[in-house]
Structure 1
C-alpha cells in the first residue's frame, strides 16, 4: 500500500523536517524533494581535467555561460565534453561528446533523463532532445528542464521501443508534475519523439512547443533569446480528445497526401494487399472452433514483434497455463518443436534465446475470475501502455469475459457499448486491438465442412460487423489434408490499408508457422 512519509536523506536537514516528501510502496520509495529513491544506481567516477578556454568559448558562442556549466558539473577529459547524469545528487551515468559531435555513453549504466534532479519540488517539467538544449533553457531561466538521453528515433524507424527504457526508469519522478512541456526538435524524428512522450505521460498534462522557424532550443537562443522564452511560454496543450482544428491535423493530412501513413505488414506478402495493420484500429477475428484462429493470431503477433519490434498485452484465458501459451509463441518464433518426443526440438540454448526475446515483447493479463470485465482488462492494458509502450492488445476470446449487465440494457446495447470501449481505447492509446469472437453453432454441410462464418454470425449483435475497423475469418477446409487455412478479410474500413478478399496460407503443424 502506498504511503507518504519523511525522507531519511533530506528531512533531518530541512527547516520543514516534518513534511512528508517521500512516497513509499513496500520496498519502493522516492523522495520528491531530493530525488532519493530505491531504484538508484551506484555512483560512477568521471576522470576529467580543467575546462580549457576553447571549450568555455564553445559554449559561450551558443549562449551558455560558465555559471550554467558549473551548476550542471559539465567537465572535459582532454578530448570530449562530459555531461554527468545525476540522480539523487549522485552521478549514475555520463554522456561524452567530442567537437565533431560524436557521442558515447557509459556502458551498461542506467538510462535516465539528463537533469533529472532539477525536477525535484517542481510542478512543471520541460523535456528537450539534447543536453545543450537543456543548458540553453537554463541560460534564460528555466532550470526545471530535462533532456532525453538518446535523442529521437528516425522518422522511418519501426523498431525503436528500446529507446524509451529511460522513461520506465524515471516515471515515478513525474508523479508530482502537473504540466509537461515537450520542446523537442522541430523535425520529423522530433515529431515522432513528441508523440511517444505524449503517449507515455498522457495527453492531459502535456503541452507542445511550436518552434516556428527554429530547429531547437539552442538555435532559438543563439538567434534571439526572447524568442526562446516566447516559444516556451506559448506552448499549446495537446488537443482535447474529440476536438480538432485543421492546424491540429495538418501534418496528418500531408502524410496521407504523400502516401506517408504508418502501416505494418502482416508478414505474409500474399495477405498484405488485403490487410495491413495500423495503430488506433480494432479488428474482430472469428472462425469455427479448432480452425486455427488463435494460432494464426499468435503467428501474426510474432511476425509484428520480429519485423517491427511490437510489444503485446495478451488476455487469453483459454490458453492456460500461461507458460503453455508462451511455449506456443516460443515454438513459432524459433520454428522448432517445444515438447519432448518430437523431431527438430529446440535446444535449451534456443529456449533461453526465445525467452529472452519474449521477455520484452509479451505481457500476459490474467486477473482473478471475478474481475474478467472489459473495463478491468483495459485498465491493466492501460498500465502496460504507460509502463512498457505496448503496441498491440489481444483479447481472446470474447465469450470468456464477464458479461453481467444491468437489466436496463438489452444484449445488443451492451455489446455496442463494449465494442465502443475497445475502439476508443485503441484510438486513445495508439494501439491495435484484436478481439476474437466465436460464431454461433454453424450447420454442417453435406461434405462435412462448415460454412465460412462472418461477423454477422457472432452471437448477440450485428455490431460485431459494424463497430470494428477490420473483420477477419480464419477457416479450414476439413476435406483438405494439407492443413492449409483460408484467411477471409471481410471488412476493411480504410481502402489505403486493404480490401475485401481471401488468401490461402499453408500451415506447418510442427512449428505453428503459417507459410
Structure 2
C-alpha cells in the first residue's frame, strides 16, 4: 500500500518499510452538499494554557524509551514537561505535556503524571485533535489513534505527518464525545479523506470505531488487524518492532467487507447489551408517551395523521424535547415550512411562550404576552446550536434563478454533510408527497417506495441517525362520514410504509370537540426494548404549541 505518510530519516530510504499496494486506499469521490446554515457552530470563548514548558529530562526520556519512542520523535511532536497539580494524586508532580496546537497556537495541554497513569486536560481550553497542525491537505488519508502514545509509536515509523490522536480516549458507552470533530473547519479538513482508525482492540476502542463509522460512513473508514497479543499501536511497536507496525498498516480494510460479519465484529455490542441493557433510546419527558416509545439512532419512524391532526406540530415538539433533554442536533427538511416560520414554532415550544401577543377578542385584554427580546435571544441561541434547515440549492442560468428539487438523494446528501459538520442525530423529512419522485418505467409504485425507504434506512443505520418521515394518508379516512385514526397502511402508495419502518406514529384529534385531547397512536415498534404499542392522550396548548400529559389518559 502506498500510504500518504512521510517516513523518518532512519526509514525513508528503506524500501522494505513501505506498506504494499492496497486498493482500499484509493481516494473516494465525495460529492459536495449545500447546507443552508453557513455559520460556524463553535462560537465560544476558550481559555489558553498558561504553563512554563520545560525540555524533557532524563527520567522522562527513559520512560518513553521503554515504550520504544525516541527523543527525535518526541521533539517532532512537540512533547514537553512541566510541573502540574494532579487532582487524582492530590499533589503536584512532573507532568509529561502533550501540547495541542491549532494554527501554530497552543490551545490545550494534556498532562500525564510521570509516576502514574493520571491524565488531565486544561480546564476551559478548546478540545481538538492532537497533532492537528501536522495534517497535510495534499494527502488523502489521516491516521487517528485513541491516545498520544499510539500516535508517537506510529510516528516512529511514519514520521509526524497526518497522524493524530483523539483528545479524550474512548469509553465503554455507545455515547462517545466527538465534539472535537464539530464545525466547518473540521469538515473541510476531513473532506474527501479516508480515515485509518488505529483505536484500541478492546470494547471501548470498538465503540469509538463505531462512532467514527457512524459519523463519516463505512466507505471512508479503514481498520487495521492487530497481532493476536496486541491491544494498540504502541504494544505492536514494543512486541513486533517497526515491521509489525508496517504489517498492521498493510492489513487495513474497510469496516464492512462484502456484507459479511462474524461475532468478532459485534462482540463488543453484545457485551455492552449484556452489561448495560439494550439501547432503549431517549424519551421526550411526557409520561404518557415515554412509557410507549423512545428514540435512538439508526431507525426510521413514520409519522402520519389526517389533515389538521397536528402531526408536524407534534414532531416539532419531539425535536425540541430531544434537543433540550438529550442534546440532539437535527437536520430539518420541511418543504411546507419556510425556515424563518419554522423557527417561530420551535421558539414557542422551547420558551413555552407565544411569538405574538394573544389578545382576547371579546374584551381586548392581553391573554398571553409574547416572548421578549431576551427570550428571543435565548431561543435563537438554542435553535442555532441544535437545528439546521435543508433548503433548495439555487443556481443562475441566463439571468434566471433556478431552484433544485427535493429528491431523496439530495436530502440525504445534505444530511450526510450535517452529520460530518455537526454530528446531527435526527433528520426530519416533512412531508413525503412534496419530495420529487422519479419512478422508473420498469417498477411499480410499491417497488419504488420499497427502494426509496431502503435507501433512507441505509442512511439511518450507516450514520446512526434517527429519521422521521411524515406522510399524509389518502383522502377519505372516515367511517360513516366521521374521521377515524389513520394507519400507516392508509398512506398513499404502498403497504411498505408499515412493513419497512422501525416505528409508526399516527396523530389524531377529534375536531368536533374543542377541548378533546390529542391522541398519539403508537402503531408499530420493531424492537420491544424501544417501546410498545398503545395510545397516549395529550393536551395541546395552541398558543405555545406545547403538549402536556392529559388527565384523560386511558391505559390499555
Task: Please state which band the TM-score falls in when normalised by the shorter chain.
Answer: 0.7 to 0.9
Kindly tell me the number of residue pairs found equivalent between the two proteins. 470
Q: 1:156 aligns with which of 170, 173, 178?
A: 173
Give the equivalent residue in structure 2 for 1:243.
260
Q: Relative to structure 1, is the Cα distance of residues 52 and 183 closer, same or farther in structure 2, using a 3 angstrom cutoff?
A: same
Please say if 1:396 is aligned against 2:449.
Answer: no
Give the one of 185, 205, 209 matched to 2:200: 185
Matched, 1:382 2:387: no
- Residue 388 (structure 1) shift: 1.9
By how many angstroms is 1:443 displaced?
A: 5.2
**Any conservation in 1 of the 2:349–2:545 contact (CA below 8 Å)?**
yes
**1:281 has 2:270 as partner:** no
CA contact 1:484–1:504 (8 Å) conserved in 2: yes
**In structure 1, how many angstroms separate the alpha carbons of the residues matched to 2:389 and 2:474?**
28
Are 2:541 and 1:508 aligned?
A: yes
- Once the two structures are overlaid, the 10-residue window that deviates more, 353-362 or 404-413, is 404-413
Alignment equivalent of 2:182, drawn from 143, 165, 179: 165
Q: Would you say the 8 A contact 1:113–1:170 is kept in 2?
A: no
Q: CA 1:58 to 1:276, structure 2 compared with 1: closer, same or farther past 3 Å? A: same
Normalised TM-score (structure 2): 0.75
The 3-state SS of whatever aligns with 2:324 is helix
SS at match of 2:485: coil
Asked if 1:299 is matched to 2:317, the reply is yes
Moved more, 235-244 or 220-229: 220-229
Q: How many Å apart are 1:257 and its aligned residue?
A: 4.9
Shift of 1:109: 4.9
Which residue matches 1:197?
Answer: 212
User: Residue 189 and residue 482 in structure 1: after superposition, are their counterparts in 2 closer, same or farther (change >3 A)?
Assistant: farther
Match of 2:376 among 331, 351, 354: 351
Structure 2: distance between partners of 1:83 and 1:261: 37
2:70 corresponds in structure 1 to 65
* Structure 2 unaligned spans of 5+: 1-31, 33-45, 85-94, 359-366, 394-402, 549-556
Asked if the contact 2:215–2:423 (Cα under 8 Å) also holds between the matched residues in 1, the reply is yes
Counterpart for residue 475 of structure 2: 441
**Counterpart Cα distance in 2 of 1:257 and 1:55:** 41
Task: Name which structure has the greater RCO, CA cutoff 8 Å, separation 6+.
Answer: 2
> Is the Cα–Cα contact under 8 Å of residues 392 and 406 in structure 2 kept in the other structure?
yes
Q: Does 1:93 align with 2:107?
A: yes
Cα distance between partner residues in 2 of 1:381 and 1:468: 19
2:22 corresponds to: none
Question: Is 1:422 equivalent to 2:456 in the alignment?
Answer: yes
> What secondary structure does 1:514 align onto?
strand
- Secondary structure class of the residue paired with 1:181: strand
Task: Tell me the secondary structure at the aligned position of residue 468 of structure 1.
Answer: coil
Return the alpha-carbon distance in structure 2 between the equivalents of residues 201 and 250 of structure 1: 22
Residue 477 of structure 2 contacts residue 483 of structure 2 at CA under 8 Å; is this kept in 1?
A: yes
**TM-score, normalised relative to structure 1:** 0.81
* Alignment partner, residue 14 of structure 2: none
Find out whether 1:270 has 2:288 as its counterpart. yes
Q: Is the partner of 1:359 in helix, strand or coil? A: helix
CA distance in 2, matches of 1:378, 1:202: 13
CA distance in 1 between partners of 2:279 and 2:229 (Å): 26
**CA shift in 2, pair 1:107/1:275, >3 Å:** closer
SS in 1 for 2:341: helix
Q: Cα distance 1:146–1:443, how it changes in 2: closer, same or farther (>3 A)?
A: closer
Aligned to 1:460: 493
Shift of 1:112: 4.3
Q: What is the CA-CA distance between 1:98 and the residue it aligns to? A: 4.6
Which residue does 2:503 correspond to in 1?
470
Q: Aligned partners of 1:96 and 1:424: how far apart in 2?
A: 38
Q: 2:26: which partner in 1? A: none
Tell me the distance in 2 between the aligned counterparts of 1:200 and 1:48.
36
Task: For residues 206-261 of structure 1, give each alpha carbon's deviation from its aligned partner in whole angstroms, at most 9, with x where no partner exists.
Answer: 22245555443334445554655554443443113633333323333444555633
Secondary structure of residue in 2 paired with 1:497: coil
Distance 2:160 2:351 in 1: 49
Deviations 1:81-120 (A, max 9, x none): 33333456x2353414152634234855583442541546
How far off is 1:401 after superposition? 1.5
Structure 1: segments with no counterpart, 5+ residues:
1-24, 26-40
Task: Measure how far apart 1:393 and its partner are.
Answer: 0.9
- Within 1, Cα distance between the matches of 2:56 and 2:78? 11
| Structure 1 counterpart of 2:333, from 288, 301, 315 | 315
Is 2:213 the partner of 1:208? no
Q: Cα gap change, 1:154/1:337 in structure 2, threshold over 3 Å: closer, same or farther?
A: farther
Secondary structure at 1:84 match in 2 = strand
Tell me the CA shift for residue 164 of structure 1. Answer: 2.8
Per the alignment, residue 217 of structure 1 pairs with 233
Structure 1 range deviating more: 344-353 or 65-74: 344-353
Contact 1:75 1:82 in 2 (8 A): yes
**Greater Cα shift, 153-162 or 298-307:** 153-162
Distance 1:332 1:159 in 2: 29
| Distance (Å, rounded) in 2 between the aligned partners of 1:438 and 1:234 | 50
- 1:125 matched residue in structure 2: 142
Go from structure 1 to structure 2 and tell me whether the alpha carbon gap of 1:57 and 1:421 turns closer, same or farther (over 3 Å shift): same
